[in-house]
Structure 1
Amino acid sequence: MNTLGLSTLFRMGCLCVRESVDINGVKYTVKDRLGEGGFSCVDLVEQSSTKKKYALKRITCHSIDDQKLANEEISYYKKLKHANIITLIDSCIKGSADLVVQTTSEAYLLLPFYKRGTLHDYLVLKSCTKNYLNVREILRLFSDICEAVRYLHHFSPEPIAHRDLKTANVCLTENMEPVIMDLGSCAPAKVQVCGIQEAQRLQDIAAERCSMTYRAPELFHVESFCVIDQRTDIWSIGCILYALLYFKSPYDIVYERGDSVNLAVISGNIPFPEETPFPMELHNLILSILKVNVTERPFIEGVIESLTNLKRKMEFAV
């Protein structure tokens, strides 16, 4: 009787070997790949003993600097405690990154798994049938996102900016509550830029970490002598609010046309559909947030105040 080689069995699917990961003595089995980027990926994993599912973010570190950034991300997860910000369940770093000897390490961040996926996923489904969210739902979701942002912007001892707020970085719980995730772009909210080199460095970081269609104008061309503050996030949540109405950021639409997002952002022109089911007050709220001149853009308190006034005007509970 002929026998098949091991490699043949794998190709034929006769064997199914699941990768397992050990995090601080607890074993998890990798079930599926949920997403991936340049230097990280997110897997669906299952704890072997309880069968409970989690999301596992894995960051490949090629240098000591990469490993430092991974540790900083873990640090942000550990110290931020808010109902609308994702919770870190466990973490560890395995291996040692060194460019000289060409070794890498891997950071493991164990996070909750949200079956509903992200706000981006939800809006894509809605857009397929032009099934607009109702105003009450829009204001509820946006209010919760704003509260999480307020928590970040008032964090002590130093305010924090997320720097990559977008619908794809907002998970949805079973009860449709928004939860901000991906804290890898978080940084001190206020940055004093002194000189061309510092400006270029910040601009390069923004280009790498901040999604273009949600990126604030001042991060596209960082001035040589300026102060960048938490109002970069305000621009981003303005784009999120637009997406809650029309499924995408206004600059996603520009990007998909193949036009320059940079030019569209600095133009200050926000395109609204001619036919809309929404009251003009919502458009006006978006316009009050998406101010190209950062000095005209409100801080989070101003956004929440405008939102509260709009709720009162539309006879919704505060």
Structure 2
Amino acid sequence: MTIHYVDGYKMNALGLSTLLKMGCLCIRESIDINGIKYVVNERLGEGGFSCVDLVEQTSTKKKFALKRITCHSIEDQKIANQEIMYYKKLKHPNIIQLIDACIKGSADIVVQTTSEAYLLLPYYKRGTLHDYLTVRQSSTNYLDIREVLRLFLDICEAVKYLHNYSPEAIAHRDIKVANVCLTDNMDPILMDLGSCTTAKVQICGVQDAQKLQDLAAERCSMTYRAPELFHVESYCVIDQRTDIWSLGCLLYALLYFKSPYDIIYERGDSVNLAVLSGNIFFPDNTPFPQELHDIITFILKVNSAERPFIEDVIDRVTNFKRQFEFAV
């Protein structure tokens, strides 16, 4: 006998048919993760490789975010497993924590079967920093400088944890306002570890360069992507300072609601050329001091060798914060 789950309750085919005839049935998908059942309430978002649903545990009614990754090949499944591994080993108050995970099915491109990875994560009802900034932008309601500095420094601490991870530094590779959740207390939580990787990568030849460039095009958001990932040199070393570039774009967004290159993209101009030019436009009419603009230009160095490491960024911002508070 087939058992269906309706709003978390078991129901056989006869009961299901009866409710359908009555026209009073709202069927919600039920998912089992390691023996615990959840029902899907709504879709929160979709990306190129995954989607995120709001789910509810049937026994406690507690809500969670469920990331679902469809794997079409063994390689896809390996990437999903790697993401789960990063979630499990990274423990920091400003990095999202994995609650549970499993992979169901078997991915095989030859016989055209897929598997699905389920990653159960905390649900932050405030949404993302992108959501928060979008609402404020609609009324040109700039953040207070103290709030800008608090949010940015907390995000920097999460990045510092990644970059100083032992035994090997980790780069996030997709830092952006849409990948920062906000808690009820407005604390920033860095999320989406699907792009995380070993920070230092030695590129030895055209094939290595093209492979990394293609991967960056897939997994690193264009308007936050570091210049060295747009055109990867055939013989070079890529390191964690790809994240520093993204942090510079994020700090700009904290001031003016969007990355400086979101504006270029929306105009239909070449983000690639704009990034490589090194030119950053700051509004003439601004409530923010020149020192904050100077910090952004200090971070957004096109040549990665001239770009600061995370400790330098934190020191520079902390010093400005100290001076600002003293002046006030």
TM-score normalized by the length of structure 2:
0.93
Is the CA contact (8 Å cut-off) linking 2:223 and 2:265 kept in structure 1? Answer: yes
Of 125, 138, 141, the match for 1:131: 141
Q: Counterpart of 2:86 in structure 1: which amino acid?
A: Y
Separation of aligned partners in 1, 2:141 and 2:23: 41
1:69-80 to structure 2, matched below 5 A, reads: 69-80=79-90
Superposed structure 1 runs of 4+ greater than 4 Å apart: 5-10
Of 165, 172, 178, the match for 1:155: 165
The match for 1:66 is 76
Is the CA contact (8 Å cut-off) linking 1:23 and 1:90 kept in structure 2? Answer: yes
The match for 2:36 is 26
Is the partner of 1:131 in helix, strand or coil?
coil
Separation of aligned partners in 2, 1:13 and 1:48: 23
Compute the displacement of 1:214 (Å).
0.1
Q: Counterpart of 1:287 in structure 2: which amino acid?
A: T
Identity within the alignment, %:
77
Compute the displacement of 1:304 (Å).
0.6
Of 257, 264, 267, the match for 1:257: 267
Separation of aligned partners in 2, 1:244 and 1:210: 20
1:173-212 to structure 2, matched below 5 A, reads: 173-212=183-222
Q: Counterpart of 2:258 in structure 1: which amino acid?
A: K
Is the CA contact (8 Å cut-off) linking 1:35 and 1:41 kept in structure 2? Answer: yes
Compute the displacement of 1:140 (Å).
0.2
The match for 2:242 is 232
Compute the displacement of 1:15 (Å).
1.6
Separation of aligned partners in 1, 2:284 and 2:317: 23
Q: Counterpart of 1:195 in structure 2: which amino acid?
A: G
Separation of aligned partners in 2, 1:239 and 1:308: 18
1:1-318 to structure 2, matched below 5 A, reads: 9=20, 14-315=24-325
Separation of aligned partners in 1, 2:326 and 2:115: 51
Is the CA contact (8 Å cut-off) linking 2:19 and 2:25 kept in structure 1? Answer: no
Compute the displacement of 1:154 (Å).
0.2
Counterparts in 2 of 1:202 and 1:316: CA distance versus 1, 3 Å: farther
Separation of aligned partners in 1, 2:17 and 2:41: 22
Counterparts in 2 of 1:262 and 1:57: CA distance versus 1, 3 Å: same
Is the partner of 2:189 in helix, strand or coil?
strand
Q: Counterpart of 1:243 in structure 2: which amino acid?
A: A
Is the CA contact (8 Å cut-off) linking 1:159 and 1:188 kept in structure 2? Answer: yes
Separation of aligned partners in 2, 1:316 and 1:112: 38
Question: Alpha carbon RMSD of aligned pairs, Å?
Answer: 1.6
Q: Please, which runs of 5 or more residues in structure 1 have no aligned partner?
A: none
Compute the displacement of 1:308 (Å).
1.2
* 1:230-267 alpha-carbon deviations (Å, 9 max, x no partner): 00000000000000000000000000000000000000
Is the CA contact (8 Å cut-off) linking 1:251 and 1:261 kept in structure 2? Answer: yes
Number of residues of Structure 1 aligned to a counterpart in Structure 2: 312
Q: Counterpart of 2:81 in structure 1: which amino acid?
A: N
Separation of aligned partners in 1, 2:105 and 2:67: 16
Q: Please, which runs of 5 or more residues in structure 2 have no aligned partner?
A: 1-15
Separation of aligned partners in 2, 1:122 and 1:168: 10
The match for 2:3 is none
The match for 2:13 is none
